[in-house]
Amino acid sequence: MISNLSLYDIQHTKGVGADLSHIETRAKVQAFVGKDELANALKGMDLVVIPAGVPRKPGMTRDDLFNTNATIVADLVTACAKNCPRAVVAIIANPVNSTVVIAAEIMKAFNVYDEKKIVGVTTLDVVRAATFVAEAKVRFVLI
């Protein structure tokens, strides 16, 4: 169902794009690197998935995580509002309950807000939690 897949990051995207382009599928894969290429990565997109940001590190507070990831999400959603305002924007960047609100407010500021097109994705957190529980169980069994 995918006809065009754009990959974007601030670095190291070209190799991943080349690898994915070798998959036998009709999807055209393009890789974009750096802020200067962000607009081109987004033009014409129907779905934008934002896993960008940093994971929470030991000793890092939720406020620290928010301060880092909020800026990243804000920049990316602003680019979405300008280049693909009708796209569904799926946000994975934590804390999801805060980054989704930022995205909504940015879309409102650009007069392109649609409550059905901004979603938070929490599946990654559920998968991580299940992995941590499984590791704890394994440790418990081995001791």
What are the structure tokens assigned to 138, written together?
């394994």
CA distances from 105 to 60, 63, 73, 115 (A): 26, 19, 12, 11
Give CATH for domain 50-142: 3.40.50.720
Claim: this prediction has a pTM higher than 0.85: no
SS3 30: strand
**Per-position pLDDT tens, the chain of length 143:** 889 999 999 888 899 999 999 999 999 999 999 999 999 999 999 999 998 888 878 888 888 888 889 999 999 999 999 999 999 999 998 889 899 999 999 999 999 999 999 999 988 778 877 888 887 765 544 44
Task: Spell out the domain ranges in the chain.
Answer: 1-43, 50-142
